[in-house]
Amino acid sequence: MMISTSSPIIRTGVVVFLALLVVLSFNAVKPIAVGSATGVVMNLPSSFGPFQGRDVPLSEGERVVLPKDTKIIKKNYNDPSGDIVNAQIVLSGAEKRSIHRPELCLPAQGWSITSRATRPVQLADGRSISVMEDTITREVEVSPGVSKPLTSLFCYWFIGDGTTTSSHVMRVFLTSWDRVVHGKNHRWAYAAVSAPVLQGFQPGGRDLEGTRKLVNDFIGQLAPSIMKK
């Protein structure tokens, strides 16, 4: 049984841990190593199995809102069968506000989040990670004056130096713990892979479960190439 990281028990436990860290921080004498170590490789392949990728430029909002030293790469992938997958990596700079929960920006792009769940993903190199899966919807115009709801799966996970997590709360906890206990300052990144549910939009389009398998398989192949450890 999976326990949501948004449950009251988990939130209470995290608050207690963070409170303990605040107390410990007053007695910590170890200097914080700022450093530039990251756990991610900032590269998305131009081709990926049957998929061909093309670069996606930064949006005007990303250029204006994010700190200038934030690094972002994005690609859209298409295969001959009509599948579409979008991938991106965001690497924080000196300011930690570079990294945030995608749930904060998805609504600004017109998406409504209808459900959230933590999913395990088996990687091609034998490792396993957890990703956060948001099921999102928005209206799209299919013909002049005619719109219909499009569902998409948006999966993401945070990558630190030697660690990963699907939880924003856990990322904050790990950041605080490593700063206080190990004198280490994570330069976090997050990776995201998404795909639209094309059933009803194109002949032979995948349904929700088929799209989920597509995204999981894509992450399973992609993650080992962008995660250092």
**pLDDT, tens digit (0-9, with 9 covering 90-100), for 43-58:** 999 998 899 999 999 8
Q: What is the pLDDT of residue 172?
A: 87
Cα separation, 68 vs 125, whole angstroms: 34
SS3 71: strand
pTM above threshold 0.85: no
- Mean pLDDT across the chain: 84
Q: What is the pLDDT of residue 16?
A: 53
**Confidence check: pLDDT of 66 > 90:** no
Place of tokens 């856990």: 170
Answer for the pair 14, 167: CB distance below 8 angstroms, yes or no: no
Cα separation, 84 vs 76, whole angstroms: 7
